[in-house]
Amino acid sequence: MSALGRVVRAGVRRRRTQSIAIGMAALVATASSVLGGSLLVASQEPFD
């Protein structure tokens, strides 16, 4: 395991709640951008 991996794991262990909150925020941001892109593509298609 690299030194960077050890540092990251130690930081996540120390700040578990903050790490979960950041992970959830990234998940919501990704999901909303995918949904927005899908809606944009769907709105450009002809109406059937």
Residue range of the domain that includes 39: 3-44
Q: Map residue 1 onto helix, strand or coil.
A: coil
pLDDT at 8 over 80: yes
pTM given for the model = 0.69
Let me know: does 12 contact 19? Beta carbons within 8 Å: yes
- How many domains is the chain partitioned into structurally? 1
Q: Map residue 47 onto helix, strand or coil.
A: coil
pLDDT digits (tens, 9 = 90+) for 15-42: 999 999 999 999 999 999 999 999 999 8
What is the model's pLDDT at position 30?
98
